[in-house]
Amino acid sequence: MTDYSDDFDGQILNFDGQMAGRTDKKIVHHVEDGNELLVFFRNRKNEYPNSAFKYLGSFQYLSHKGEKPTRFVLQALDIGMDECGGPVPLVEDQKSEEYIEGMERTRVQTYYERNPRLRAEALRVHGAKCAVCGFDFSETYGTLGEGYIEIHHKNPVASYEGEVAVNPETDLVPVCANCHRMIHRRKDPISVESLRTIVQNR
């Protein structure tokens, strides 16, 4: 009769494990053990016919805390996302001609494919705290913010000439939404180090 609290925002899954904890270690060590985490999810028991679940795909362990039940944070690997954590194209082949909202339009878009495994690995290496200002979403928003952070590419993906190898330890860095917007506010992004200096000197 445990009151479990689970939620999935399209990228990050927060969920409570079993009371007995029989699978906790398997979840935490699934990568080194060579096991894959396949997630089936539902918001309520009767959401799907015959109390079924919806298959979400492959996930990777990010963190956990507490016990009986353990609170887990997993990252979706099969769901495409951009460097800001959402499926928003970086380049759009359309110019706004008028200030109108709500009208249906057909849009042709160009976007650069992201590898969701890079985000998961960057979080594993760097953690989920902003590398510029130190902001931690979980400290401010609790479980709602667990595992959430934007991942900044030091070399903009739009500058790639074809496919390139990306090192999550040296090429990616976690930043909060505010700092990420400041990095990209001008045409030529400023470095994480330069923005950190600006913040520290305020």
182-197 confidence digits (pLDDT tens):
998 887 888 999 999 9
Q: Which tens digits make up the pLDDT trace of 20-33?
A: 767 788 888 888 88
Q: Is the dihedral of CA 42, 86, 60, 147 positive or negative?
A: negative
Range 167-175 average pLDDT: 90
Distance separating alpha carbons of residues 42 and 155, to the nearest angstrom? 38
This model's pTM is above 0.95 = no
Chain mean pLDDT for the chain: 77
* Per-residue pLDDT reduced to its tens digit, 5-56: 778 877 788 888 877 767 788 888 888 888 888 888 887 778 888 878 888 8
pLDDT of residue 106: 52
- Using CA atoms, how far apart are residues 59 and 13, in angstroms rounded to an integer? 9
